[in-house]
Amino acid sequence: MLKLKFIFLLLFITSTSSHANLILNGGFENNNISSNSWKAFSANSVTGWEGSAMELWDNFSGLQAFEGDQYAELNANGENVYSIFQSIDSQAGELYDVSFAYAARTKKNESFLFEIIDASNGFLFSQIIDDHIQKAWSTFETTFEAQSDLTLFRFTSISSGTLGNLIDGISATTASFSAQQSAAVSVSEPNLGLLFSCSIFLLIRRKVSSK
Ligand SMILES: [Ca+2]
Ligand SMILES: [Ca+2]
Ligand SMILES: [Ca+2]
C-alpha cells in the first residue's frame, strides 16, 4: 500500500512539475509598485527580463491585470523601438507551449513582434501581433519544438511612440501530454486516467503473482 502511495505521489509530481512556468516573472508581479500607478524601468532591472526600457502598470488607467495585479507596457518612454527578452533552459527535440495576454492602450493598430529564437540565432517562430483590443485582453498561444539547450523569447514594438502594447501572463511550459502525442494519436484527460488505472493494475498483478 505504501508503494502504491509512492507511485501516486511520483505520478502527481511528474504531471505538475512538467507544467511549471519556465518564464521568470512572466506576469510582471515581482517589482511591486503601488496599486493604480505606473513606473518606468530599464528592462534589466525587472526580474527575469533584459532589453530596453519598459513600464510596469498596476491595475492602472482602467485596465485590470490579466493575472495578478501588474502588467507591462512595451512602448515605454524615451526611445522609439522597445524590445524585451528572456531565455529559458530548454531541451532540443522537446515541445513547449507558450502563451501570453496582450491589450491595446489607445488604438487598435498597436502592434509588436513576438519571436522565439534558438541558441544559434535561428528563428523557431516569428509573428507580428496586431489584432489588439483597446483596454481588453486577448490571448496568444503556440507550441514549438526546441532546437537547443537555450531558447529566447523576444517582444519588440512595431508601432512607434511611447503608448501601447500592454502584455501580461507570459508562460512557457513543457507541452502537455496530449500535445506531445498529437502527431500520432489524440490523447485526452480520460486517457491519462486509463494510464493511472493500467499502472495500478500492473502493480496489483505483480503483487498477487509474487505472493
Ligand atoms: Ca501580471
Ligand atoms: Ca503592485
Ligand atoms: Ca509608455
The pLDDT, as a whole number, for residue 182 is: 64
- Going from the Cα of 1 to the center of ligand 3, the distance in angstroms, rounded, reads 59
The reply to whether 189 falls in a domain is no
The reply to whether 72 falls in a domain is yes
Q: Which ligand is nearest to the CA of 63?
A: 1
Cα-based torsion angle of the residue sequence 13, 69, 54, 117 in order, rounded to the nearest 10 degrees: 30
Give yes or no for a contact between 70 and 29, defined as CB atoms under 8 angstroms apart. Answer: yes
CB within 5 A of ion ligand 1: which residues?
A: 27, 65, 67-68, 70-71, 168
* Total of domains in the chain: 1
The reply to whether 183 falls in a domain is no
Q: Which ligand is nearest to the CA of 167?
A: 1
Strands laid side by side in the 53-58 sheet: 37-42, 53-58, 70-73, 166-174, 95-103, 138-145
Local confidence pLDDT in tens for the 211 residues of the chain: 555 555 455 444 445 556 799 999 999 999 999 999 999 999 999 999 999 999 999 999 999 999 999 999 999 988 789 999 999 999 999 999 999 999 999 988 899 999 999 999 999 999 999 999 999 999 999 999 999 999 999 999 999 999 999 999 999 999 986 666 665 444 444 454 444 554 555 555 555 554 4
CA 181/CA 187 separation, integer angstroms: 7
Grid coordinates belonging to 66:
490579466
**Residue type at 80 in one-letter notation:** N
CB within 5 A of ion ligand 2: which residues?
A: 32, 58, 69
- Going from the Cα of 33 to the center of ligand 2, the distance in angstroms, rounded, reads 4
The residue to which cell 502598470 is assigned: 57
- Going from the Cα of 48 to the center of ligand 2, the distance in angstroms, rounded, reads 17
Grid coordinates belonging to 159:
508601432
The pLDDT, as a whole number, for residue 188 is: 43
- Going from the Cα of 25 to the center of ligand 3, the distance in angstroms, rounded, reads 20
Give yes or no for a contact between 72 and 54, defined as CB atoms under 8 angstroms apart. Answer: yes
From residue 15, give the alpha-carbon distance in Å to each of 10, 29, 189, 196.
9, 26, 12, 12
The pLDDT, as a whole number, for residue 185 is: 47
- Going from the Cα of 164 to the center of ligand 3, the distance in angstroms, rounded, reads 7
The reply to whether 165 falls in a domain is yes
- Going from the Cα of 136 to the center of ligand 3, the distance in angstroms, rounded, reads 17
Domain around 63: 19-175
Considering all CA atoms of the chain, what is the largest pairwise distance in Å, rounded to the nearest integer? Answer: 76
CA-nearest of 98, 73, 78 to 88 is 98
The reply to whether 130 falls in a domain is yes
| Per-residue model confidence as pLDDT tens digits over 169-193 | 999 999 986 666 665 444 444 454 4
The reply to whether 195 falls in a domain is no
- Going from the Cα of 77 to the center of ligand 3, the distance in angstroms, rounded, reads 5
- CATH code assigned at 76: 2.60.120.260
The reply to whether 160 falls in a domain is yes
CA 85/CA 142 separation, integer angstroms: 17
The reply to whether 181 falls in a domain is no
Helix (H) or strand (E) holding 166: strand 166-174
Q: What are phi and psi of 4, to 5 degrees?
A: -65, -45
CA 36/CA 205 separation, integer angstroms: 60
pTM for this entry: 0.79
